[in-house]
């Protein structure tokens, strides 16, 4: 598949990696449906993409809401003249250890609340399920294959302290990526996953400089975060390589050597 032929939904498109994916795709001539909860971010994205050769449409939608997802794909499909691509990028982080012991009193507190657990599972795991189910049903029903889905997982899928919810969601997304490839490839829909380590996005830049420096020095052999362009290069590969399905590309600077 060629980038300029893509009619693709990108969730979490208003900021971070998703924003870069949208801009890179539309600059390559693709038709992009950018979805996010951040209406202001979507507006600025549309302004930035105005002179690109491709087409960008924006949609405010919650990927964890089944009716909102159905409406999103119905409208995006109508606006773009069908769909043949999806990037499941939307995600949130609500970090915290499972429990914490007070050093002075020895009191144990439950530091990861059910709300923090469920919100991350809803957006990072249920969201991709709802979006992919809607996308695949439309591709098959309307004969739009070949098509491709890119799932943005994380190196945290292997288990990262303080991220029970996020690690579980990203590991689950990887499992679903494998299952969906086995189920849907015969219908002409391929699946690929990308698992980045720290990426240079606003979330990372908001970390305390000394904490970020220590994390990169101790955990990442390349001692720097990935750029969003480097992650997009993997997105581009998955879209363009028609023999790639069911696998994951780790862009981790050597973290898992």
Q: pLDDT for 89-129, tens place per residue?
A: 999 989 899 999 999 999 999 999 999 999 999 999 999 99
Which of 59, 73, 166, 180 is catalytic? The answer is: 166
* Cα 202 versus chain centre, distance: 15
Domain residue limits, the chain: 3-251
| 59 given a catalytic annotation | no
User: How confident is the model at residue 206, as a pLDDT?
Assistant: 72
SS3 content of the chain, % helix, strand, coil (to 5): 50, 20, 35
Q: Is the pLDDT at 201 greater than 90, yes or no?
A: no
Q: 134 is written with which tokens?
A: 């809607």
Name every residue whose Cβ is closer than 8 Å to that of residue 218 and which is 6 or more positions away in sequence.
none
Contact 152, 132 (CB under 8 A): no
The pLDDT tens digits of the residues spanning 132-160 come to: 999 999 999 999 999 999 999 998 898 88
Instruction: Note the CATH number of domain 3-251.
Output: 3.40.50.720
Reply yes or no on whether the pLDDT at 257 is more than 60.
no
Rounded to 10 deg, the angle between the 164-184 and 114-121 helix axes is 30
The tokens 């990308």 sit on which residue? 194
CA distance 184 to 191: 9
Q: Are 190 and 244 in contact (CB under 8 A)?
A: yes
Q: How far apart are the C-alpha atoms of 158 and 111, rounded to whole Å?
A: 21
Give the Cβ contact number of residue 166 at 10 Å.
24
Give bridge partners of residue 59 from the DSSP assignment. 35
Work out the number of other CB atoms within 10 angstroms of the CB of residue 137.
12
Q: Which two tokens stand for residue 255?
A: 């973290």
Q: What is the pLDDT of residues 51-77, one digit of tens each?
A: 999 999 999 999 999 999 999 999 999
Q: CA 125, CA 170: separation in Å to the nearest integer?
A: 7
> Which tokens hold the place of 221?
């052999």
Cis peptide bond N-terminal to 146, omega within 30: yes
Q: How far is CA 195 from the centre of its chain?
A: 10
Q: Say how far apart CA 128 and CA 173 lie, in whole Å.
A: 8
């Amino acid at each position: 598949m060629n980038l300029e032929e893509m009619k693709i939904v990108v969730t979490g498109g208003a900021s971070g990696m998703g924003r870069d994916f949208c801009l890179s795709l539309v600059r390559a001539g693709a038709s992009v449906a950018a979805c996010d909860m951040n209406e202001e971010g979507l507006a600025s994205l549309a302004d930035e993409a105005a002179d690109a050769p491709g087409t960008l449409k924006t949609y405010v939608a919650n990927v964890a809401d089944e009716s909102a997802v159905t409406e999103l794909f119905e409208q995006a499909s109508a606006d773009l003249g069908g769909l043949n691509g999806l990037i499941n990028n939307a995600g949130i982080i609500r970090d915290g250890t499972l429990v914490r012991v007070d050093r002075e009193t020895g009191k144990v507190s439950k530091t990861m609340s059910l709300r923090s657990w469920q919100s991350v599972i809803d957006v990072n795991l249920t969201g991709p399920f709802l979006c992919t189910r809607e996308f695949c049903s439309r591709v098959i029903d309307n004969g739009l294959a070949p098509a491709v889905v890119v799932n943005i997982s994380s190196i945290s899928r292997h288990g990262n302290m303080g991220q029970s919810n996020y690690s579980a969601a990203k590991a689950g997304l990887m499992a679903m990526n494998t299952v969906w490839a086995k189920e849907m490839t015969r219908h002409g829909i391929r699946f690929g996953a990308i698992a980045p380590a720290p990426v240079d996005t606003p979330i990372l830049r908001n970390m305390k400089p000394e904490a970020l420096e220590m994390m990169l020095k101790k955990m990442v052999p390349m001692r720097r975060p990935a750029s969003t362009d480097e992650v997009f290069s993997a997105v581009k590969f998955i879209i363009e390589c028609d023999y790639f399905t069911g696998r994951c590309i780790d862009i981790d600077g050597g973290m898992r050597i």
